[in-house]
């Protein structure tokens, strides 16, 4: 597959040979904010959200946007306006969600290692639900809640032992994964939890991994979890809510679209007659394809029979290719002539690691220094996973809506980045 034959994603289109984000020519944004930068289409995010919620029509369902995918407050706030809550995994995310205006009672808190401080902060914020993943966590939460004179609303997250058939680093529902509680163990924990004075048992949760493109693992996990829900209900556990997590994938390769309708049917079939409120925690599905990473070619280097397109973006800006061997479509912002010859290229960044690449042997049209490229489907786990490695400042994020654009995070400046270090007192000043 080569990238020039693929159409750009929803929210982005070529007009007069130039890639636009909704109504805005992207090269104009590049002039204004410099490169590299993340670019989001607000309408594409909204369309994904509407598709997702429409598929769940008829179900008593609530959506909690998994903000780990993209935690920019403009994004979190947008989803909140369209009706979603937030799924958070740290105090930092919780604070960001609150800062973005998400009310505490629309927030669920996941994660295997919540600290006492995080528990107390979340209780203070009045969150809807803690998804608890172990006995020590349950006991700790009980203690924290009691010390504050509160009750913590709890769902137990189970591990149904289902292989999500995704990249091994992002599968979370297998026995050997750190996530969730075995069903057998969860039976005991529900009993324990009901007599803990600081705990209000409310739910059951499952999440087997991310970027699922096959629907069978969802079916297996949802079936096992819903059966367990029925069993616990019958045993008198006062369950109100079944949280089915996130994980629905996106077509990074545009011929592998996961089937949202099938996903929704599986939810309906497996939860029929349960009488539970359903919760969903989609992240990637809502934002991945609504975002690009825009980068500029620094040099084209021909060496040892290879063609390296060296760009100003790098693995610290978008780590997915090197971390998960992830494939992101790459398109020049200026549409290539239809007859342009394609050459296999390695698209690489300036960072000092051979793992610093965006693509290997990717067929691309002729490129030269100064050309702009878009890395597609970069709206999820892009900026959220960026770092300052090689002392490269975090790149800006821009959101477009119709003909308007907004810089929703400015480029980190060198002074801010460098000022974070402190020199210890024992180091004398250096003199030449
Ligand atoms: C508990 C939980 N919920 C939701 C998500 C969001 O996943 P995704 O972005 O694949 O929808 C994750 C990440 O995999 C997660 O760990
Ligand atoms: N960071 C991963 C997804 C992790 C999901 C976290 N629960 C990715 O980019 O694909």
* Residue limits of CATH 2.40.37.10 in the chain: 4-41+288-419
Minimal CA–CA distance to 253: which of 326, 321, 314? 326
Gap from CA of 85 to ligand 1 centroid (Å): 14
CATH number for domain 4-41+288-419, candidates 2.40.37.10, 3.40.190.150, 3.30.70.20, 3.20.20.140: 2.40.37.10
Residues 141-159: pLDDT tens digits? Answer: 999 999 999 999 999 999 9
Q: How far apart are CA 141 and CA 116, in angstroms?
A: 7
Minimal CA–CA distance to 330: which of 1, 69, 34? 1
Ligand of minimum distance to the alpha carbon of 169? 2
Q: Work out the angle at residue 412's Cα, subtended by the Cα atoms of residues 409 and 413, and round it to the nearest 5 degrees.
A: 140
- From 90, 157, 170, 323, the mutation candidate for ligand 2 (largest count of ligand atoms within 8 A of CB) is 170
247 Cβ inside 6 Å of ligand 1: yes
282 Cβ inside 6 Å of ligand 1: yes
pTM of the full structure: 0.97
271 Cβ inside 6 Å of ligand 2: no
Q: How far apart are CA 275 and CA 182, in angstroms?
A: 24
What is the maximum alpha-carbon separation in the chain?
A: 79
Residue 174 pLDDT exceeds 90:
no
Q: Please name the residue whose Cα sits nearest to atom 4 of ligand 1.
A: 246
Minimal CA–CA distance to 397: which of 317, 321, 337? 317
* Residue limits of CATH 3.20.20.10 in the chain: 42-285
249 Cβ inside 6 Å of ligand 1: no
Residues 65-96: pLDDT tens digits? Answer: 999 999 999 999 999 999 999 999 999 999 99
Contacts of 338 (CB under 8 A, 6+ apart): none
Q: How far apart are CA 404 and CA 399, in angstroms?
A: 8
Q: What is the mean pLDDT of residues 305-311?
A: 98
- From 69, 76, 247, the mutation candidate for ligand 1 (largest count of ligand atoms within 8 A of CB) is 247
Pick the catalytic residue: 352, 419, 423, 430? 352
Q: How far apart are CA 284 and CA 66, in angstroms?
A: 8
Ligand of minimum distance to the alpha carbon of 247? 1
Q: How far apart are CA 401 and CA 431, in angstroms?
A: 53
320 Cβ inside 6 Å of ligand 2: yes
Known active-site residue 376: no
Residue appearing with tokens 């990473």: 293
β strands within 357-427, DSSP E: 357-364, 372-375, 397-401, 404-409
- From 113, 169, 211, the mutation candidate for ligand 2 (largest count of ligand atoms within 8 A of CB) is 211
Minimal CA–CA distance to 395: which of 28, 14, 29? 29
Q: Please name the residue whose Cα sits nearest to atom 13 of ligand 1.
A: 210
- What average pLDDT does the chain have? 96
Q: How far apart are CA 175 and CA 160, in angstroms?
A: 8
Residue 58 pLDDT exceeds 80:
yes
> Where residue 362 falls among pLDDT bands split at 50, 70, 90?
very high
> Where residue 7 falls among pLDDT bands split at 50, 70, 90?
low
User: In terms of DSSP H, where are the helices of 198-337?
Assistant: 216-234, 260-271, 284-287, 320-324
Q: Please name the residue whose Cα sits nearest to atom 5 of ligand 2.
A: 210
- ipTM of the shown complex: 0.98
Q: How far apart are CA 362 and CA 375, in angstroms?
A: 12
Element (H, E) at 298: strand 291-303
CATH number for domain 42-285, candidates 3.20.20.10, 3.30.200.20, 3.30.559.10, 3.90.230.10: 3.20.20.10
User: In terms of DSSP H, where are the helices of 85-134?
Assistant: 91-99, 116-125
pLDDT of amino acid 6: 59
Binding residues for pyridoxal 5'-phosphate: 247, 281-284, 381
Q: How far apart are CA 206 and CA 224, in angstroms?
A: 10
Residue 1 pLDDT exceeds 50:
no
Determine contact, residues 333/347, Cβ cutoff 8 Å.
no
pLDDT of amino acid 256: 75
pLDDT of amino acid 255: 72
Q: What is the mean pLDDT of residues 265-272?
A: 97
Beta strand 343-348 pairing with 357-364: antiparallel
Residue 235 pLDDT exceeds 50:
yes
Residues 364-414: pLDDT tens digits? Answer: 999 999 999 999 999 999 999 999 999 999 999 999 999 999 999 999 999
């Amino acid at each position: 597959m080569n990238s020039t034959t693929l159409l750009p994603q929803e929210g982005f289109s070529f007009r007069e040979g130039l890639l636009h984000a909704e109504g805005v020519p992207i090269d104009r944004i590049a002039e204004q904010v410099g490169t590299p930068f993340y670019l989001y289409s607000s309408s594409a995010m909204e369309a994904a959200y509407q598709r997702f919620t429409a598929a769940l029509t008829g179900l008593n369902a609530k959506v909690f946007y998994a903000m780990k995918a993209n935690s920019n407050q403009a994004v979190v706030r947008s989803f909140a306006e369209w009706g979603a809550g937030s799924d958070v995994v740290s105090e930092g995310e919780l604070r960001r969600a609150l800062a973005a205006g998400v009310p505490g009672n629309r927030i669920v808190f996941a994660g295997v290692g919540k600290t006492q401080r995080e528990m107390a902060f979340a209780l203070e914020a009045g969150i809807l639900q803690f998804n608890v993943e172990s006995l020590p966590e349950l006991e700790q939460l009980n203690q924290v809640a009691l010390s504050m004179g509160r009750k913590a609303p709890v769902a137990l997250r189970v591990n149904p032992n289902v292989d999500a058939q995704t990249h091994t680093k992002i599968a979370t529902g297998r026995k050997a994964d750190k996530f969730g509680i075995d069903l057998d163990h969860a039976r005991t924990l529900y009993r324990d939890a009901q007599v803990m004075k600081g705990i209000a048992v409310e739910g059951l949760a499952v999440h087997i991994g991310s970027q699922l493109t096959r629907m069978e693992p969802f079916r297996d996990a949802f079936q096992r979890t819903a059966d367990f829900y029925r069993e616990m209900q019958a045993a008198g556990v006062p369950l109100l809510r079944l949280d089915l997590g996130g994980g629905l994938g996106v077509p990074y390769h545009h011929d592998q679209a996961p089937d949202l309708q099938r996903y929704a049917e599986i939810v309906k079939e497996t939860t029929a007659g349960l009488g539970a409120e359903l919760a969903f925690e989609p992240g990637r599905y809502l934002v991945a394809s609504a975002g690009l990473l825009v980068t500029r070619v620094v040099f084209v280097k021909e060496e040892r029979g290879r063609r390296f397109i060296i760009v100003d973006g790098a693995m610290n800006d978008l780590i997915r290719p090197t971390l998960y061997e992830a494939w992101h479509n790459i398109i020049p912002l200026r549409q290539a002539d239809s007859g342009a010859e394609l050459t296999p290229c390695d698209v690489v960044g300036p960072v000092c690691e051979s793992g610093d690449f965006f693509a290997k042997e990717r067929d691309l049209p002729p490129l030269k220094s100064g050309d702009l490229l878009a890395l597609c489907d970069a709206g999820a786990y892009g900026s959220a996973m960026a770092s300052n490695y090689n002392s490269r400042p975090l790149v800006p994020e821009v959101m477009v809506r119709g003909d308007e654009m907004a810089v929703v995070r400015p480029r980190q400046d060198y002074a801010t980045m460098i000022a974070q270090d402190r020199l210890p007192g024992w180091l004398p000043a250096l003199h030449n």
